[in-house]
Amino acid sequence: MNTWHSLDVPRTELRLNTTLKCGQSFRWRTTGENEWSGVLRDRIITLQQSDHDVLFKADEGSVGATREILKDYFQLEVNLEALYAKWNQDQNFKKKSGEFAGIRILRQDPLENLFAFICSSNNSISRITMMVNKMSERWGTYIGTVEGDSQPYYSFPTLSRLAEDGVESELRNLGFGYRAKYIAQTAKYILQNHDEKWLESLRYVEYAQCREELMKLSGVGPKVADCVCLMSLDKHESIPVDTHVWQIAKRDYKISGLAAAKSMTPKNYLAIGDFFREIFGDYAGWAHSVIFTADLRQFGEKSRQPSLKRRLLGLSRKKQALSRKRGLR
């Protein structure tokens, strides 16, 4: 019988709602209040955030193994509070991080991480989630369900399954568009030139070499390579740069040479990464993710607020309606 067990980690070290939903991993589902379920190492794991801890469900025979999986996945050996204290020397980080404690970089399965981010090109989190789930349902292995969620859970497909004949055309039928070719070609390339363990072996090479190897794959440019380096291959200094990070670099840090730049060039991309690495050190990728998440949340809140013109128009219509109502009396 599955029961709750303590991971013994405070909210300041791990905050599930932001860490699991900030665009790193795409297969965690909300299955209850402050509760999430997902698949790690071919097993369903359910997590719950309490006021002072993170809890996980496991039967008595698998508590130790599940705890070790979670410690590795959340990289709990990294003292996040100490890193935040160091990063708070940067005033922009300090200003933005107040409400975003406990955001950690996940140490994901490199295979799932790679193909998820190949799907990320010109895509939203909801569509990436849909695509990763479709791949798992079609070519993964059924694992089971959890209480409170009738949808089945699957493992992520192996390289061999994704390299099968007909995968590209089936992905196109499933709505993957041009990404279908990238997925099929990358799976075949890795098996033809390396083996099933090659991606994991990149954890043991230097960042620059790791990035260079990833960019040989179909559908993998600088940003996707940096996402995979950071989120599954232990390259904590990796800085994925997209339009949001580009705007943060220009607006908040006034990086030299970017003010007049109209587009992201390879030179500008590298300059932004080097700048953040100089400020935040060996775990610059982690710091960048906190700033990115905070900025996205603030941007989302602003975008949900009606514009001044719309608010004034709404007030005007209310006044007109009130006048008509009074005229009828």
Is the pLDDT at 318 greater than 60? The verdict is no
Q: Are residues 79 and 119 in the same domain?
A: no
CATH number of the CATH domain containing 31: 3.30.310.260
The pLDDT tens digits of the residues spanning 142-164 come to: 999 998 788 999 999 999 999 99
User: What range does the domain containing 10 cover?
Assistant: 1-107
Q: Give the helix, strand, coil percentages of the chain, each rounded to 5.
A: 55, 10, 35
Q: Are residues 161 and 256 in the same domain?
A: no
User: Facing residues of 4 across strands?
Assistant: 57
Q: Are residues 127 and 180 in the same domain?
A: yes
Q: Are residues 221 and 273 in the same domain?
A: no
Which segment of 29-38, 188-197, 303-312 scores lowest on mean pLDDT?
Answer: 303-312
> How far is residue 107's CA from residue 24's CA, in Å, rounded to a whole number?
10
209 backbone dihedrals φ, ψ, rounded to 5°: -70, -40
The pLDDT tens digits of the residues spanning 87-104 come to: 999 999 999 888 899 999
Exposure letters 282-319 (e unless 16+ CB within 10 A, then b) = ebbbbbbbbbbbbbeeeeeeeeeeeeeeeeeeeeeeee
Is 235 catalytic? The answer is: no
CATH number of the CATH domain containing 204: 1.10.340.30
CATH number of the CATH domain containing 323: 1.10.1670.10
Is the pLDDT at 106 greater than 70? The verdict is yes
Three-state secondary-structure class, residue 279: helix
- Final residue belonging to a domain, choices 183, 211, 235: 235
Q: Are residues 65 and 146 in the same domain?
A: no
- Which of 57, 96, 223, 235 is catalytic? The answer is 223
The pLDDT tens digits of the residues spanning 225-281 come to: 999 999 999 999 999 999 889 989 989 998 877 767 778 889 999 999 999 999 999
59-67, long-range: CB within 8 Å, 24+ apart, which pairs? 59/1, 59/2, 59/3, 60/1, 60/3, 63/5, 66/5, 67/5, 67/7
Q: Are residues 206 and 256 in the same domain?
A: no
pLDDT at 260: 72
Q: Are residues 180 and 287 in the same domain?
A: no
Q: Are residues 161 and 184 in the same domain?
A: yes
> Binning pLDDT at 50, 70 and 90, where does residue 138 land?
very high
pTM of the complete model: 0.89
- Final residue belonging to a domain, choices 212, 235, 258: 235
Mean pLDDT score across all residues of the chain: 90
Is the pLDDT at 199 greater than 60? The verdict is yes
List C-alpha distances in Å: 51 to 22, 31, 47, 293, 308.
20, 18, 13, 22, 38
- Final residue belonging to a domain, choices 107, 123, 142: 107
pLDDT at 324: 54
Q: Are residues 225 and 116 in the same domain?
A: yes
Tokens of 259: 């003010």
pLDDT at 207: 98
Instruction: Specify whether the CB–CB gap between 93 and 291 falls below 8 A.
Output: yes
Q: Are residues 273 and 228 in the same domain?
A: no
82 backbone dihedrals φ, ψ, rounded to 5°: -65, -40
Q: Are residues 1 and 62 in the same domain?
A: yes
In the chain, the number of structural domains is 3
List C-alpha distances in Å: 89 to 121, 247, 287.
34, 21, 12
Q: Which of 62, 66, 185 shows the shortest CA–CA distance to 118?
A: 185
Q: Are residues 96 and 126 in the same domain?
A: no
pLDDT at 326: 52
Find the DSSP H helices in 74-124.
80-87, 91-97, 110-118
pLDDT at 100: 92
Length of the chain: 329
- Residue given tokens 């608010």 in the structure block: 311
The answer for residues whose C-beta is within 8 angstroms of residue 212's C-beta and 6 or more apart is: none
